Amino acid sequence: MTKFGFYFDAESCIACHTCQVACKDVHDLPVGVNYREVRSFVTGEGFAPRMYHVSISMPGCDLCTELRECGEEPACVVSCPMRCLEFGDIDELRAKHAGELLLDGCPAVPNETLSNKNFVMRAKDCMEDADFDEIII
């Protein structure tokens, strides 16, 4: 059986939140409910801060089953202007991006509630910095 998942390119993400808004629109979600969220994190210290962004599916995400039944991709994937998201068989996505610095299940995200087994990410080098804090925007 196919295990569907997302590939996310943290190197290219600009945190525009377009994926989050597209998901919210397709599912007609009320204020305060999101099936996809974009979070921004800062690493480093002093005058050498670095930042990265993560777009991740949250509880409730159904991988846009209705859209996929019509032959379309999930709304978050189609809407991304930087093409940071890909959707498909998780093992095929891992194989396709094998030469990149990949992180499975978001180990570089400092909030364990954001971990997702059906998620593989192209990481930025600053994501491996142990000295980080979540930015609240």
3-state secondary structure at position 75: helix
Residues 34-84 pLDDT 10s: 999 998 888 877 787 888 888 888 888 999 999 999 999 999 999 999 999
Position 8 confidence tier, pLDDT thresholds 50, 70, 90:
very high
Q: Is the pLDDT of residue 116 over 70?
A: no
pTM of the model: 0.83
Q: Determine the Cα–Cα distance for residues 74 and 6; give it in Å rounded to an integer.
A: 10
What CATH code is assigned to 4-134? 3.30.70.20
Boundaries of every domain in the chain: 4-134
Q: Determine the Cα–Cα distance for residues 35 and 104; give it in Å rounded to an integer.
A: 19
